[in-house]
Chain A
Amino acid sequence: MRYRIYCLLFLLLARPLDLFAAESPADPLNSVMWHEMHQRLLDGAPVVFDERVRVSAPAVAEDSLNLPLWIDATALGEVERLLVFAELNPIPKVLDMQPLKAAPRIGLRIKVQQATPVRAAALTADGVWHLGGVLVDAAGGGCTAPSMGSGSSDWADRLGEVTARLWSRENHSRLRASIVHPMDTGLVAGIPAFYLEQLEIRASGGDLISRLALFEPIAENPVLTLDLPKVKQLTMAGRDNNGNPVEAQISESSQTGSNRL
């Protein structure tokens, strides 16, 4: 009798696992949300877990409002889209980037609500998503805390203001840009979602270099780091979800400091 019950239990447990296993490879991070994310964010498209997609983040988020990430899929070669998500955030999707002429890598900071897998998915021309990721522990609460800017008086006057610098490196130009924006998630009572949604980087002649779709979990006053083809001057333009524009022309400084690489 007991034998039969065990057999039944075994079958009950094993069947669904088997079914999933047939659909996608086992998740190295063993996340409960992975199958949900695969369906919701990647439309169930073919995926491989691939060490060439690197996600660098501290093992523990010291500040849940500002978890630094460095995402690098350059080892894959050509990448059509680079998607970043934090699985256990109430709003998982962080960034959807079309690298185009830029290198498929980016630095940014995000809010995390609790300990979570943070993943990057890079889509190659053959229609396969390559996934990398890490687990990050956190005290949490980053998504349901009001932005600091909402508490200070001058953020509204400086909304969309860009501070940026362009560094000339051996084979590329590095862009680091900081944009004044509260990046409110809409999860705090009485404060609607208010966040930068789109950014495009163009060469001075107008040629599109890279396109980014940003989402609520990106930290307040986003600081983005991108590697572009050699360029002396570019424009960064976009808007937030309320239609407020961001537009700035960024040039290589004549003196780029004493610490050039």
Chain B
Amino acid sequence: MRCLIFISVLLLVGVCQAVERDYQLKPQQVAEDTYVLIGHDEHFSFSNGGNIVNTGFIVTEAGVVVIDSGPSRLYGEQLKAAIARVTDKPVVKLFITHMHPDHFLGNQAFEDLPIGALKKTQGGIRLLGETFNDNLYRLVGSWMKGTRVVAPNLQVEPGLEEIGGHRLQLIALKGHTGADLVILDQTSGVLFAGDLVFYGRTPTTPHARLDEWQAALQQLQKLDFKVLVPGHGPPVTSEVAISQTSAYLNWLQTYLTEQAGSGAAMAELLQPEAPQHLRELAVFSEEYTRSLSHLYPALEAAALAEGKVEQQQ
């Protein structure tokens, strides 16, 4: 009897391992020919497998253009399968908006295609890609199985590119990282804003320059779009997501600068005073705490430099 139980447990374990994990990707149409796969408003976890990000694709007459490939090999493959459920046309090109792992670690599924990114994004992925990959294994576990870094193989220059009847305006900005690619499809009016815009979810800052980011948001305000697809959070038809991102970054900058100026130690600021509408953003507390680590050292150094010290060595 015991032997039987033992064997059935073994079998069960075997069956569980054989089942592929499923991101349940469901393309949502946001405009003619244009689809978005919306990620969870969460942090990386074992349960969401890193699917916290938006990816998208445009079905053109010449084939499918994909924007960002997701957090893992598995996501990339399932994204490809989800596209095949919508259209028979082959994928012809992939654009990567920036160097963060949730946006490019699905590249393996598109390895034989042109994968375009800005020059600094290519460099950043070559330099930090493996570190990101290791870190995501730690955060989401077996969803990452078999994932390796495929750096974008095509350098994107800003300007107009027409693919299968869609006029794509490629815009090079920076601020969230050192290079943020924004794609405005002038034909459909859909703006793929990458992580320069977050909506309903707290922005992340590991490679951010807040002044450059704010300048980039002002550029985005001027664009003529019908639908904006943020890097994280649901697509919107107004500029509300841009102003929300700007309001959060503005608060973050102001609050941390003031605290540094009045002499606060970093770990005294773990429970910040923030307006209610910002506190309500998803994962506010986690992302604010990460941003404190990213941004406070430079602000505090500037504040300390105003002190009066005589070295006596």
> Complex Cα distance A252/B308, Å?
7
> Complex Cα distance A225/B293, Å?
16
Q: For the complex, would chain A's binding face be called helix, strand, loop or mixed by DSSP majority?
A: strand
Q: Are A107 and B261 CB-contacts (below 8 A) given A62-B294, A66-B297, A165-B306?
A: no
A163 touches B307 (CB 8 A): yes
Stretch at the interface among B57-65, B100-108, B173-181, B265-273: B265-273
A171 contacts the other chain (CB 8 A): no
> Complex Cα distance A249/B313, Å?
10
A68 touches B304 (CB 8 A): no
Q: Are A165 and B290 CB-contacts (below 8 A) given A235-B312, A252-B308?
A: no
Total residues of chain A contacting the partner, CB 8 A: 47
B300 contacts the other chain (CB 8 A): yes
B293 touches A107 (CB 8 A): no
A258 contacts the other chain (CB 8 A): yes
0/1 string, B267-303, CB within 8 A of A gives 1:
1101000000000000000100110111011001101
A70 contacts the other chain (CB 8 A): yes
Pick from A57, A174, A245, A248: contact of B309, CB below 8 A: A248
Chain B residues contacting A107 (CB-CB under 8 Å) are: 265-268
Question: Could you jot down 18 A-B contacts, CB within 8 Å?
Answer: A56-B270, A58-B292, A58-B293, A59-B289, A62-B289, A62-B293, A63-B293, A108-B265, A163-B304, A163-B305, A165-B303, A166-B307, A225-B263, A225-B268, A246-B313, A248-B312, A251-B309, A259-B261
B310 touches A257 (CB 8 A): no
A160 touches B313 (CB 8 A): yes
B304 touches A245 (CB 8 A): no
Q: Are A249 and B310 CB-contacts (below 8 A) given A62-B289, A62-B294, A139-B135?
A: yes
Count A/B pairs, Cβ under 8 Å. 118
A230 contacts the other chain (CB 8 A): no
> Complex Cα distance A178/B289, Å?
22
Residue of A nearest to B297 (CB): A66
A253 contacts the other chain (CB 8 A): yes
A249 touches B267 (CB 8 A): no
Nearest-neighbour CB distance to chain B for A98, whole angstroms, equals 19
Q: Which A206-261 residues have C-beta < 8 A from chain B?
A: 223, 225, 235, 237, 245-254, 257-261
B207 contacts the other chain (CB 8 A): no
Of B138, B304, B309, chain A has the most CB atoms within 10 Å of the CB of B309
A164 contacts the other chain (CB 8 A): yes
Chain A residues contacting B289 (CB-CB under 8 Å) are: 58-60, 62
- On A, residues with C-beta under 8 Å from B are 56-60, 62-63, 66, 68-70, 107-109, 139, 160-167, 169, 174, 176-178, 223, 225, 235, 237, 245-254, 257-261
A68 touches B266 (CB 8 A): yes
Residue of A nearest to B290 (CB): A62
Q: Are A162 and B270 CB-contacts (below 8 A) given A223-B300, A225-B265?
A: no
B309 touches A250 (CB 8 A): yes
A245 touches B261 (CB 8 A): no
Chain A residues contacting B268 (CB-CB under 8 Å) are: 56, 70, 107, 225
Q: Are A56 and B267 CB-contacts (below 8 A) given A66-B293, A248-B312?
A: yes
Instruction: Given contacts A178-B301, A261-B262, list 13 more A-B pairs with CB under 8 A.
Output: A58-B270, A58-B292, A63-B293, A162-B309, A165-B303, A165-B304, A165-B306, A167-B262, A169-B263, A250-B307, A253-B306, A257-B306, A259-B262
A109 touches B310 (CB 8 A): no
0/1 string, B214-226, CB within 8 A of A gives 1:
0000000000000
0/1 string, B96-123, CB within 8 A of A gives 1:
0000000000000000000000000000
Pick from B263, B290, B303, B311: contact of A261, CB below 8 A: B263
B258 contacts the other chain (CB 8 A): yes
> Complex Cα distance A246/B307, Å?
17
A258 touches B309 (CB 8 A): no
B263 touches A164 (CB 8 A): no
Q: Are A251 and B308 CB-contacts (below 8 A) given A58-B293, A245-B313?
A: yes
A165 touches B265 (CB 8 A): no
Pick from B258, B270, B286, B300: contact of A259, CB below 8 A: B258
A165 touches B307 (CB 8 A): yes
The 5 closest A-B CB pairs, nearest first, are A107-B265, A165-B307, A259-B261, A70-B267, A225-B265
Of A164, A247, A257, chain B has the most CB atoms within 10 Å of the CB of A257
Chain A residues contacting B135 (CB-CB under 8 Å) are: 139
Chain A residues contacting B262 (CB-CB under 8 Å) are: 167, 257, 259-261
Pick from A68, A163, A235, A260: contact of B301, CB below 8 A: A163
Q: Are A247 and B312 CB-contacts (below 8 A) given A62-B290, A163-B304?
A: yes
Nearest-neighbour CB distance to chain B for A26, whole angstroms, equals 27
> Complex Cα distance A225/B268, Å?
10
B267 touches A57 (CB 8 A): yes
Of B258, B266, B290, B306, chain A has the most CB atoms within 10 Å of the CB of B266
A162 touches B311 (CB 8 A): yes
Of A60, A161, A237, chain B has the most CB atoms within 10 Å of the CB of A60
